Amino acid sequence: MIVIGGSASTSLAEKVAKQLGQEPGRIEIKRFPDGEKYIRIHEEVKGQDVALIQSLYRTPDEYVFEYLLIADTLRDMGATSITGVTPYLAYARQDSRFYPGEALSSASLAKFFEAAGTTSIITIDCHLHRLGDVSKVFKIPAQNVSAMNLLGKYARENLRPKKPIVVGPDEEAEQWAGTVAKELDAEHTAFTKRRVRKEGETKSRLEMDTGSVDVKGRDIVFADDIISTGGTIAEAAKACKKKGARRIFVLCTHPVLADGALKRIRAAGATRIVGTDTIPSPISTVSVAPVIAAALKTRP
């Protein structure tokens, strides 16, 4: 298999290729003075299986179109198969139409990828609210793999939490907390979110509690798929600190990190915040290359 990285995931593609014992495929990506992209693939891909790695973060529209140009070129050059690896899949949340005329962005993105020649898809900890499974978004074979085992292993070997409790900052994150807890041989729980309305208030606020778990004197390891604004993690961290938690560690797959997110979480008492390289960031300590390489080896 030839591994090619788009401009969003050049470094990650190199790591994946190394995991597979090879060099990454050569590709040239430039920009013309008017802003258009120039793509040239310097590999003979005819009759070959190709993995195209392109994470769709921060400027997803640009990276989506670049992916389409590369995939379409690979198809025209005669590639036998094109496995699209999108570690962070943009537009995954927009899977239902709540008001007339709204774009079903996840469905549209899937159609674009399929039309460009993508024959299968691999995502990592894809955030799907209602559909729940990436295979329901795409008509081609689609697989979602997780980085939580890698994050849990990193926490065990490097953070070394004392008497840890792994916590999901909300109900949806309980699955991630459970996976990390297995790596740490620890118990896990998750916060619940309740919307509370006070008389005269027009907006709702979030109220969270950890149930009956005693966190006093223990290290808390938060596990979640995405950190965007950091607001939920910060609130949960403050709640744990008030209950006597010792240290706060935060693990996430996708460090989106909107402005002020890291500052907000650290101010709430976090000792360390660790993310993966699905999105390059100051906290992208753990590489997802091993899980991508494993998925490519076992693909149908």
Q: Indicate which residues carry an active-site annotation.
A: 193
- Fill in the amino acid letter for 165: I
Burial-class residue 259 by CB neighbours within 10 Å (0-12, 13-18, 19+): exposed
